């Protein structure tokens, strides 16, 4: 370890506790999922059902989140609908004063369950689609009949009177259906559509060559989204997330490390983002051993990349240092081997050319077959 990196770690340990509360908490209730999406944000080593937090533990976490100042709770997975205690968890979260959003594939969400979740206090549903047409969507998700179930789930959410966001995760193999996915969002009655290009962590990194869009695809998609945003203003809010590999400057990942959001894994580890486990040498505390407030305010892992004092050059002197905070720490680690490096998505990074070369190289030719997200063979069949 260099003297510089040792000094930065010592500085991080000596900082006073962070006092600003997080806005949101992403609760990964389980890594189990009936879909096998090749861009899944879960890690390659999925946590087992036997290691998942019990109902009482999650309810305590939600109470601590409310006391900490969290406003929004996002119930995710895997597939959170596989938790039979989901209505109880929603009810407990609302009692803790949290706005509750369910992030789901929708394949297990029928009208009866939608009504039960409404009665428990659910506020909002985010429903993912893999394409506009069943054949492609089901192939990407690895779940025959999944697209039809998703459409039924959208209708059930509407009948239950809950707000709906459609998540369209796009990549080289479904971008030609982007206009259809925008129409699908309108047909489902969604109030919001998020068109998000795949971000390359976890399973998406493993499948990068099968998912990376070409520059021409990305530019065409951007034009399509901008046209739809103008044409549908007042009818449908459309958010757009572009792929870092074609960017000139990094996005402010999670609003900055440990600034706005915390993530709790199925087993209870607390991280600044879903991909943070990719960074070696950081110990992420568990809610089974520490309180959520201490983890957020004082744990060394959350302190490590907070603020701007730790930034290297050229980030330290950059006028955007308090906008993007040097970009994504996980992406810097995965692509340069150094989590403290400038995110290669920035054109000022010495590794920026490498990122562009990867994008250009992997977006050409026939895409390879997907490596689908699956539990290892030792996982129980119902997990």
- Facing residues of 126 across strands? 103, 165
- Are 127 and 164 contacting, i.e. CB atoms less than 8 angstroms apart? yes
Q: Which residues are annotated as a binding site?
A: 33, 37, 40
- Are 260 and 267 contacting, i.e. CB atoms less than 8 angstroms apart? no
Specify the DSSP element, H or E, that contains 301: helix 300-303
CA distances from 362 to 211, 347, 349, 358, 366 (A): 8, 20, 21, 6, 9
The single-letter DSSP state of residue 286 is: B
CA distance 133 to 284: 41
CA atoms within 13 A on the CB side of 341: 20
- Facing residues of 270 across strands? 264
> Taking CA 47 as the corner, what is the angle to CA 41 and CA 51, rounded to the nearest 5 degrees?
145
Residue 165, SS3 per DSSP: strand
CA distance 300 to 294: 10
Q: Which residues are annotated as a binding site for [4Fe-4S] cluster?
A: 33, 37, 40
Beta strands 24-28 and 99-104, pairing class:
unpaired
CA distances from 335 to 87, 200, 338 (A): 41, 10, 8
Beta strands in 108-176 (DSSP E): 124-129, 163-170
Tokens of 177: 């259906």
């Amino acid at each position: 370890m260099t003297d510089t990196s040792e000094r930065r770690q010592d500085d991080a340990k000596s900082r006073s506790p962070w006092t600003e509360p997080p806005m949101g908490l992403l609760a990964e209730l389980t890594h189990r999922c009936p879909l096998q999406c090749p861009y899944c944000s879960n890690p390659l080593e999925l946590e087992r059902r036997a290691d998942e937090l019990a109902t009482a533990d999650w309810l305590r976490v939600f109470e601590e989140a409310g006391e900490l100042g969290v406003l929004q709770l996002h119930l995710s997975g895997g597939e959170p609908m596989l938790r039979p205690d989901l209505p109880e968890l929603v009810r407990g979260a609302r009692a803790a004063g949290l706005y509750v959003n369910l992030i789901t594939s929708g394949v297990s969400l029928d009208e009866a369950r939608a009504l039960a979740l409404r009665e428990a206090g659910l506020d909002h549903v985010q429903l993912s689609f893999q394409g506009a047409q069943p054949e492609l969507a089901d192939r990407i998700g690895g779940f025959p009949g999944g697209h039809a179930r998703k459409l039924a789930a959208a209708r059930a959410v509407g009948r239950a009177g809950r707000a709906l966001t459609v998540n369209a995760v796009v990549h080289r193999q479904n971008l030609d259906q982007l206009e259809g996915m925008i129409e699908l969002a309108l047909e489902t009655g969604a109030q919001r559509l998020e068109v998000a290009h795949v971000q390359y962590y976890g399973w998406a990194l493993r499948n990068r060559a099968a998912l990376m869009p070409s520059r021409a695809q990305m530019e065409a998609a951007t034009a399509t989204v901008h046209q739809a945003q103008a044409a549908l203003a007042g009818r449908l809010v459309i958010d757009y997330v572009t792929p870092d590999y074609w960017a000139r400057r990094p996005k402010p990942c999670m609003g900055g490390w440990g600034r706005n959001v915390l993530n709790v894994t199925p087993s209870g580890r607390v991280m600044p983002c879903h991909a943070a486990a990719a960074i070696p040498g950081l110990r992420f505390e568990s809610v089974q051993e520490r309180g959520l407030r201490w983890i957020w305010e004082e744990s060394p892992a959350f302190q490590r990349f907070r603020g701007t004092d730790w930034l290297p050059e050229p980030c330290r002197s950059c006028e955007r240092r308090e906008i993007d905070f040097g970009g994504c720490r996980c992406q810097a680690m995965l692509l340069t081997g150094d989590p403290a490096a400038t995110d290669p998505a920035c054109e000022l990074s010495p590794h920026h050319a490498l990122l562009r070369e990867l994008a250009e190289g992997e977006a050409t030719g026939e895409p390879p077959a997907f490596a689908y997200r699956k539990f290892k063979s030792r996982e129980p069949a119902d997990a």
